[in-house]
Structure 1
Amino acid sequence: MLDVRHLNAFYGDVQVLHDINLTVKAGEIVGLVGANAAGKSSLMFTMAGLRTSHQGDVLLDGVAINDLAAYERPAKGLVLVPERRRLFPFMTVLENLEIGAFSKDARAQARTTLEEVFALLPVLAERRKQLAGSMSGGEQQMLAIGRALMAKPRVLLLDEPTEGLAPIYVKLLFDLVVDLRAKGLTVMIVEQNVHHVLATADRAYVLENGHIVMEGEGKQLLNDDRLKKAYLGL
């Protein structure tokens, strides 16, 4: 469903991604792990259209989306939940969710989608009138995911979703990822919480200094001593 081919990305003159090739098949959970500054978020941003200085291709359903602006990609089914959530803190939960349905097709289905999001994440229904900035970190992360779901994604990109969360919300989040896959969503997740993501992912890639250095089944990589010692410091 999502393919990245020979992708190189740059911040000014500094190259941060080197010849990245990866595939995310329909219905998969794919993890992307690596040490800090490995290039994980840069890859997610580039796929979402937020980094314009790059070479190579990003394809959705076999069609290159390189020329699409970031705001056009959700309408094609590719939606990013950014690191640190990026909510509108002085708007209510409901207003944040409504903003997620900004494409024409998503707006047409917004009422139905909102009820689906509330059923999936009841805390958002309970707090619909509360200001987003007054919620706990875990609740805010659920809101960020709910906002992304309002865009009717087919591929959901999650960038460091458990950052700063209490353990109970870490478990809830990974349970939610599994539930979303069961509902037909394809998920790619960048995560520092290596154990959780590799235990949950069907497949995973390991990124080091902007290069993919390993790939394989998530649980297989979790038990790889070379991976633990060389790339993850475990």
Structure 2
Amino acid sequence: MRQVILDTETTGLSWERGNRVVEIGCVEFVERRPTGRTFHRYLKPDCVFEPGAQEVTGLTLEFLADKPVFAEVVDEFLAFIDGAELVIHNAAFDVGFLDNELRLAGAHHGSLADRCTIEDSLLLARRRYPGQRNSLDALCRRLGVDNAHRQLHGALLDAQLLAEVYIGLTSGQEEIGFDAAEPGPADAGAIVFQLDAHRPRPRVEVAPDEFAAHEARLATLRKRAGQAVWDDVTDE
């Protein structure tokens, strides 16, 4: 599975009012692991910043004056994200802006949804932490992601932080180690074991060092999973 964690910075809060994208940052993951590939571009917006927006990003029109416009990088951007699952915090905001940029660059580019599936990490966070603050900064603190170096909003930095937050939000069996087994042949039939409830279960003698290693492994699983269903099983 290929995922692209994406963030943008803009000249204001609404593309409907003529605001534009000034920065795009993307981080690629494959099988929930970073590949080292990123996409990062500053863009000349051809419009002014809304009050307050410039202070959030630290970007200026002077800095962006010699940067490409979106239409000049659109093909490179689409090639990077094509076919991936996009992970975006408050996806409606970024998707609205980027779909607008795609329209302005040419209707033949379509929309993000034509090329990618989209996962909104804000909705994931609200389901996991209802009634709590779920901004990127709040999630970094809650999930132990170091964001001390984040003084201003930056698309690539925020995408990198979101990548760590997303892994924390979606931690599951693959982090515990249940996905370690290699899959069998595609045409292998399923094997079903019929258990006789009345048959005595065999007793196996375990060496002390093996038992200690087993208990250590169970302790690790309990710590990661938060709850171990096998602890509720009693010996008959």
Q: What's the TM-score bracket when you normalise by the shorter of the two chains?
A: under 0.3
Structure showing greater radius of gyration is 2
- Larger relative strand fraction: 1
Ranked by relative contact order (alpha carbons within 8 Å, sequence separation 6 or more), the top structure is 1
The normalised TM-score by structure 2 is 0.22
